[in-house]
Amino acid sequence: MMTRLLVSVVDDDESVRESLPDLLREFGYAAQAFSSAEEFLASEYVEQSRCLILDIAMPGMTGPELHRELIRRNNKIPVVFVTAQGDGSTRPKMLEQGATECLSKPFSDAALLAALTAALKAG
């Protein structure tokens, strides 16, 4: 039996945490959702995650701050940022900081699957 790759979702929006893991499972991945960067960092799933779908703007530690912390810890997990508040400069800035992709909410299933595929190939 093949083990499903774990994709973790970190987003303070409850509707995203409820819907995105279901979609990820439909894509064939295992999924875990976290309401904050701090919750993710305290979990047992940091080392198991093969990709991170990460909201940019969250209370407490932001998505980019979590990404930098993971890099500081030498955890090179591929990151797909998602945001509802981005402007034209957000995506290039996130890509420059090492993200695989940055999607604006709402994004299509196809866009998410393409970003995940790219992230997992890169990782």
pLDDT reported for residue 88: 85
**What's the whole-model pTM score?**
0.95
- pLDDT score at 20: 97
For residues 58 and 94, what is the distance between their CA atoms, to the nearest angstrom?
15
Query: What is the total count of domains within the chain?
Result: 1
* CATH number of the CATH domain containing 87: 3.40.50.2300
Q: What is the pLDDT of residue 28?
A: 95
pLDDT (0 to 100) of residue 87: 82
Phi-psi region for residue 91, left (φ > 0), alpha (ψ -120 to 50) or beta?
alpha
Low-confidence ranges of the chain (pLDDT < 50): 1
Whether 1 maps to a domain, the answer reads no
pLDDT at residue 116, as a whole number = 96
Whole domain around residue 49: which residue ranges? Answer: 6-122
pLDDT at 2: 58
Q: Where are the extended beta strands (E) located within 70-112?
A: 79-83, 101-104
